[in-house]
Each structure stands twice: as structure tokens, then as C-alpha cells.
Chain A
């Protein structure tokens, strides 16, 4: 049974699945038919009318987002008739538009700007007074609305109806007075509200947290993975001045489609606020003082050598990369001949059936694939602390970017080494503190809850010298045993792929931009 049809677009033949729209078919030929209301993740509205194309034997121009490709169809996406049509639509779109690009946050990624450059005409013939609307109206904790810039494409309304099912947004009134808004007294506060800003093709919806912070052309987008939960949404980190200014979703149909949650979107915010651990520091005779890295590592190795191997434990959360956890495991099994590695469990809320997972560890699946058990209920962690209090534990290696449940370094007699990016956590009571890179500063592999290996990428330079967990482990092994150092996290992944069957074939290349499923 043939479910393919052939059509011609701008003189080029193409074969597509039955049911494909002309716009999609044109897209697969690399033709960028302009669109405002069309979004692949939403139902088709066909209301903006900018995607007009000419189809042979059809008397009128047709919106390509609504036209289903048919066998033998001959389509033009260019030519005077199409250009005239688009120019007319463009003029209508801009007639009441405030043309306030210099103060609009959308500037630089505004489809009105883009298409009016390509399809518009210079100057407006609209002589009437522009329709006035609502300006800078906060419609929710994260979203600000400007109805004068709005073209009522209803992408945001459909998003809230179809993706989140929350329906906070509606179109009110009709005709030229139509406007988007929330029900009076209610807010656009669903956990995914920021996506409405991303899909807004114009500057009508902007993100409170990003408004007026940076011009988008000043940002360098680094593709990465969100670390806020076990979904592992694909994101772009918008960086400039060695900071993340915003996080936006990166389309990945296997993971997060086009969306991310607000928590993930704003997960960069604490990075700028929390105090950083800039250099290694050691507590000697009750006094904390900075130490240079080699010295710190020597000190750590020396202390560990003094310990009973079975009385050394690691707390290694699944925010660490596969590379980190692998090396922790190697260090314990090869040097200490011990398996006292505890991967704390981090649960909050519920799986919401959209993206958000209760499991807040981005690499819990990766830990399990390495043979590390996630500590359900954190019972082992609690038991470890009890033992530490009882003086039965000699040393604890804590690798964390936050607080560790039950950990009270001051109350234990063990030697506590904390490897962390931040100075506000357990550093204060640690015997030795080593700076680690924060989110955005390290590179490595995370495996999401569905077994997809993905690359979290380095977009920023850490303040001071920070070493990833795996590098610290390598250094320790060199000091306490032997190990060939890996040049990069990628080299290490190659080793993991060779040695751990669950990761067979997983390389930086096979992971690519969109990740790869680990062998089941």
C-alpha cells in the first residue's frame, strides 16, 4: 500500500506522506514559507494568512498550512501573485502595530521584522489612528502582555488549551478589537507558561525575567540539557558575559517536543545569586584556609590512605554526569575495594504527564546503568550518617551542588571532603572543600528516565579553577594507585562505552544534538 504522494513545489519534485500539508512539504525541501499562527506542536488555526501559496488549478491563493498535499499538485511559494498576497497580509499585520522595535524585546527574533523585511513594503499606507491596546500587562508570574503588538495568531491560547489543558488565555471581543487575555482575577501561571513567550511570533508576550536584560543578538546559544528533573529537556543556554541570561527549549521530539517547564527555564537564576567556592580550602587546627589544587589533592589522598577502606563513603548524587559517577565507582572499586557509594534520591511533587518528573535527578537512569543503586527513601544515607555519628566512618566524600539530606559534617568525627560549586552548602563545616564547576560549566553525559543518553554542555567558564568530579577521582587514583588520565570527558565516555555494556556504542558522536537511546 502506497501512502506516499508526489507533488511539485517551486519546480522541484518531492514525495511526502499522505496527509502532509503543503507547508510541511515545502519545509522538507528547505523552503521557509513564512508563518505566524502555524506551529507544528499545535492544532492548525489558519488565521494569520501569511503562508499563502499558489496552487495550480486553484482560483485563489491558499494557505499552505491548511492545504493538504495531493498527488500531482503543482505549488509555487514564490512569484508575483504570492508576493502580492503576502505583502497585503503583511500590511494588515503592521497597520495597527506600534512599530516599537527599538524598545521591543522580541527584536532580533521577531517574525514580523523578518517577514516585513522579506515580504513587506517600505512605509505604511494606514492613515487611520492605530487601535490602542493594553501595554506591559503582567498576565502571570513570568509573562508580560502587550496587546498592541499582538497579531491574534492564538498560538499562546492554543498552547494553554492543547498542551497544558489549563486554558488560562482566551481571545476576547471580536473583529479589530479582538485581544488576548486572562480571565479577570486569574493568572497565566501554569508550570509551562514561559513557552507562550517562545512561541509568540511577535513581541506581544515577553518573559518577565528576561525583559530588557539583553538583546537577543548578543546571546550565544549553547545547546544543552536541562538538569531540573529526570526528563532531560533539550535546551539552549542563552549566554553572554559568561552568564546564562535565559534558557529556551530546543526541539527534540523524543524528549520534550518543543517545550520546557518554567522551573527548568528559570533554573539558571540561582547560579548568579549563590556564593561560589572559588578555590580549594582546608580546615587545619580548626581554621579554614585556602590551598592550591595540587596541595589539596595531595592532602585528600593522604587522608584517604590513612582510612580503613571500608570506612570511606561517597555521596554522589545523580546530578553528576555518567563520567563523574563512573570514575567515583572506579576509584572505590579499584583503590578502596569498597562499594560505599550512595546516590541520594531527590523526589518532589508528581509526574505531571507532560514533562515534569517527580525525580529531580537528571542522571538517575545513568547511575543505575553504571550499577549504582539510587538510595530509595535515602535510608542508606541516613544509616551512613548514624554510623558517622557513632564514629564508625573515617571519611566521607560529598559531591553536591546543593544541600545533602542528613549531612551534618560538624557533628561527625569523620573526615569530610566536599566537592561543590557553591560556598553556601556543606562547605562551612567541611574539612576539605574543592571547587567543582556549576551547571553550564561542565560537559558530560546524562541519561534521562527513558534511557536516552544526552550531552550536557559547557557554555561558561567557572570562576577560578574548578575540577569535575571525574577529574578529582582521576587525580586521586594517580596518587593512590594508577590510572591513565583522560584528556576530555569525551575520551572518558569512549572508555565507558568500551567497558560498560549498558553504554556500548554511546559516544559523543552518536549522542549528537538529540541524544541516543542506550542499549536496553
Chain B
């Protein structure tokens, strides 16, 4: 189990001309949009619900259920926001999709917008993705020219517009309410919830935010049916999924597989194993850096699905799988992870603003040989002080992995403290 009999989301990525609308249409793009426009909207939502599609952005929330939160009787304009702020360390799948197959993406966005009665789609793309931005911008113009976007789409009477909005460098804008603030020209501060976006989103109007990959699944669910999608993977963990493999792996990259592909299969067969075969696997971060680190032995029998990883104390998250061999100092790895969070904390809530920096600096100090007895206890307790006390889950995303590093590699931390240096560095010298 794990490998797919055929590629789905990635099937056309190797065609150099796929970003061009004629080539894409020649390979079937927008066919499902045309079909969707003849369907009852709620029937589409129902199909997506039945497919079991869960959000691919990180939280794994059931997509169809999320769509049903949109109020049906609101007189306000309704928006679909596409979250293309892909910034979770270890994650690079959405970028691939928009750069290589923008029309498949747009088709997914358009069908979803139609299903949820939206009149406007915002695509929020992280500022660094200039190529992706330009590719999407061109694709949008082409789609507009062909009548897939604009007034009376394909004669259906449905009007839709698309605005491509470029971020400017802030991880937190991937958090859906921070993204909305940023879209409204503000600092990317996550909003207090409730109210939730479905009732109070962009400009206070009903809004649904979905990840790029999530929406790319929608045309295929329509094409092949929800049963087909639900038949891939296992219950509540369904469909094809893009896994991002990076770090000490021979063939890093994006791999499409069933949700739940065993880690060893993903890493060993698809990724080709360790970069340096003489080394041993030491640790894996399975779902972007916000996921708890797993030791090599924990990876032995590890189906990479939402619920298994959750049950084993980590998460599938964005499926950004970072592989570390035994040359890695785990204290330094932890420091790298925490540097990211210290840098990216928006600074709104006290525990995160101060805590993310605090735990980073403590680990950096330990790594540099300045650790003291008691540091680890303080570190863990500071992490606990951060968890569950902030507006968004960023603080948890910084504190939980930190705790996992300390819990699973405590000896390495202790060695740093007692030797007053990194044992691996000392060993080399």
C-alpha cells in the first residue's frame, strides 16, 4: 500500500507547456469546471464531503465540512481565499503545482468557488514566489480571455473574479486569519476567533480559506467520483497526497502517494534512502517543522497519515518530511527549528512574542556550550507556558517541537551542558 497506480495531481507537471492554457485544455483542463457549472452546488459540496478530503495546508480539517460553514442566506458577498503562502519549513508542493500546472489549480479554485457561491477568489501567494506569481498571473489572464473567469462563466450565468495578491515575507500569513489581515493591508496578526472566517472573513464577509493542493483535488473528485477518492488510503485519511522529501535523502523532491504511505517506503523507495548510504537514519520531522521530531526507530512502521501521526505524538501537517542522518547534532537542529519561530513570531501575544525568542536563545546558548544545569527543566517549562495560551497555534508550533527534541534527544542536550560544547564538534576536533 502507499504508491498510487497512477499520478493524479502531478500527472502533467512534466509537460513544459502545461502552464499554457491551450496545452492544458488539450490535456483536459477546465472540463470539470464546465461540468460543475451544470451541477447543483450542494451536490458538489456533498461529493467533496463524501470524498473525505482533508485540508492539505497543515491542520487536516475536512474540506467539505468547512465549506458547509459558509452561511447560505447571507446577503453579503462571499469569498474563496486560496492559501498559497506555503512557508512551513520542509514544504514545497504548492509552489510546484502553481509553477507547473496553474490551470489545474485555477480549475480547482473555480469549481470550489462556484460550489460555495463565492463571487470573488483571492489567491494569496507568498511574496518570495515570484515565478509562481507570474505564472499564475498569466494563467489568470488566459483563463479570463477564454471565459473561465469573469462574467457569465461559460454561459452559466455565474460571475467570478480572481485577484492575485502577493505577500511580502511573513510565515504567519499562512495562518488563515493573519492572511486575511494581510489581505486587508495590515500587519499579519492572527484574529481572535470566534468569529470564524465563514461568518466574518475578508472585509467581514463570509470567507472560506483553503490550501492550493486541497483545491486541486476537487476537479478529480468530480471527474472520478468521491468513492474513487475515498478508496485511496484509509478511512478518514483519503486521497492522493503530495509528500515533500528533503534533508539527507538521495532524491529529495515532491512525491505523490496515497495518504498513509509508510515512511520507509516514501523515504526508501521513492526517495532512494539516505544521501550518504554509509550513514544511519537518525531523525525525521514528518510534517513541516511544527511537527514533533521522530526518532529513527519511531519511523520503522509509520503510515504517513493524519490520524496515525497524531496518535504517535506528531502530525502529518503539510507533509514536509525532513530527514536527518546521524551526522546531525540534534541540539543544533533544534536551534535551527527554533530560530525560525523566533524570527517568524508575529509578536502579538505575550507568550509567543517572548517565549519563541526565549526558547531559541536558550537552545542556542546550550548549543554554543553555555548551558547550565537546570536549563532543560526551564526550557520545557517555558514551552509549557507558551502552549495553549495564544490567539493562534503558532506558539504551540514552536513549543511542541522544542519539547519533542528535548524529550527524544535529552542525552545530547545533557552532553552539551556537561561538556560545555557540542560533542560532535569536539569529536571532530
Contact = CB atoms under 8 A, between A and B. Distances in A.
Would A and B touch once assembled, by the CB under 8 A criterion? yes
Interface stretch (B8-16, B112-120, B353-361): B353-361
5 contacts: A47-B350, A49-B351, A91-B385, A93-B354, A175-B343
Interface string A102-140: 000000000000000000000001111101000000000
A44 interface: yes
Range for the number of chain B residues in contact with chain A? 20 to 34
B192 A177 contact: no
B365 interface: yes
A92 B347 contact: no
Given A52-B389, A85-B389, A47 B349 contact: yes
Range for the number of chain A residues in contact with chain B? 20 to 34
B348 A47 contact: yes
B356 A175 contact: yes
A61 B170 contact: no
A176 B345 contact: yes
Nearest to A126: B358
A125 B378 CA distance: 7
Please indicate which of the listed interface residues B343, B351, B372 has the most CB atoms of chain A within 10 Å of its own CB: B351
Contacts of B32: none
B390 A95 contact: no
Pick the 8 closest A-B CB pairs, nearest first: A88-B385, A178-B347, A176-B357, A92-B354, A60-B388, A175-B345, A128-B361, A175-B347
Contacts of A60: 388-389
A176 B354 contact: yes
B372 A127 contact: yes
Contact of B391 (A46, A59, A125): A46
Contacts of B350: 47-50, 89, 92-93, 151-152
B188 to A, nearest CB: 8
A66 interface: yes
Contact of B346 (A49, A127, A131, A174): A174
B59 to A, nearest CB: 16
Contacts of B375: 127
Contacts of B346: 174-175
Contacts of B390: 49
Contacts of B170: 174
A128 B391 CA distance: 25
Please indicate which of the listed interface residues B192, B344, B384, B389 has the most CB atoms of chain A within 10 Å of its own CB: B389
A170 to B, nearest CB: 9
Contacts of A96: 354
Contacts of A299: none
B283 interface: no
Contact of B351 (A44, A92, A127, A174): A92
A126 B375 CA distance: 10
Interface in A155-190: 171, 173-178
A46 B345 contact: no
Given A49-B390, A175-B347, A176-B353, A127 B187 contact: no
Q: For chain B, what secondary structure do more than half of its interface residues adopt (helix, strand, loop), or is it mixed? A: helix
B268 to A, nearest CB: 38
Contacts of A66: 192
Interface in B338-388: 342-351, 353-358, 361-362, 365, 372, 375, 378, 381-382, 384-386, 388
A120 B137 CA distance: 53
Interface string A19-57: 000000000000000000000000010111110100000
B389 A89 contact: yes
A99 to B, nearest CB: 15
Contacts of A125: 378, 381-382
A139 B390 CA distance: 30
Nearest to A170: B187
Contact of B389 (A88, A93, A175, A176): A88
Contacts, number: 93
B356 A92 contact: no
Contacts of B388: 59-61
Please indicate which of the listed interface residues A49, A50, A128, A175 has the most CB atoms of chain B within 10 Å of its own CB: A175
A152 B353 contact: yes
Contacts of A175: 342-347, 353, 356-357
A178 B372 CA distance: 29
Contact of B353 (A50, A52, A178): A178
Given A91-B385, A127-B365, 12 more contacts: A46-B192, A49-B350, A85-B389, A93-B354, A129-B361, A131-B357, A151-B350, A152-B353, A174-B347, A175-B347, A176-B347, A176-B356
A88 B386 CA distance: 8
B391 A47 contact: yes
Contact of A176 (B187, B342, B378): B342
A242 to B, nearest CB: 42
A48 B349 CA distance: 6
Contacts of B365: 127-128
Interface string A382-395: 00000000000000
A190 B134 CA distance: 44
B389 A174 contact: no
Interface in B372-417: 372, 375, 378, 381-382, 384-386, 388-391
Interface in B143-202: 170, 187, 192
A174 B345 contact: yes
Nearest to B172: A174
A129 B345 CA distance: 19
Contacts of A52: 389
A96 B347 CA distance: 14
A77 to B, nearest CB: 16
A171 B347 CA distance: 10
B178 to A, nearest CB: 11
Contacts of A91: 382, 385
Contacts of B378: 125, 127
A95 B354 contact: yes
Contacts of B187: 171, 174
Interface in B290-335: none
Contacts of A88: 351, 384-386, 389
Contact of A92 (B342, B343, B355): B355
A48 B352 CA distance: 10
Interface string A464-507: 00000000000000000000000000000000000000000000
Contacts of B347: 152, 171, 173-178
Nearest to B193: A66
Contacts of B384: 88
Nearest to A153: B350
Nearest to B347: A178
A85 B385 CA distance: 7
A272 to B, nearest CB: 41
A287 B91 CA distance: 94
Nearest to B396: A60
Nearest to A88: B385
Contacts of B342: 175-176
B35 to A, nearest CB: 42
Contacts of A93: 350, 354
B373 to A, nearest CB: 12
Given A152-B353, A176-B345, A61 B389 contact: yes
Nearest to B189: A47
A91 B346 CA distance: 19
A174 B189 CA distance: 10
Contacts of B192: 44, 46, 66
Interface in A369-400: none
A148 to B, nearest CB: 13
A54 B413 CA distance: 35
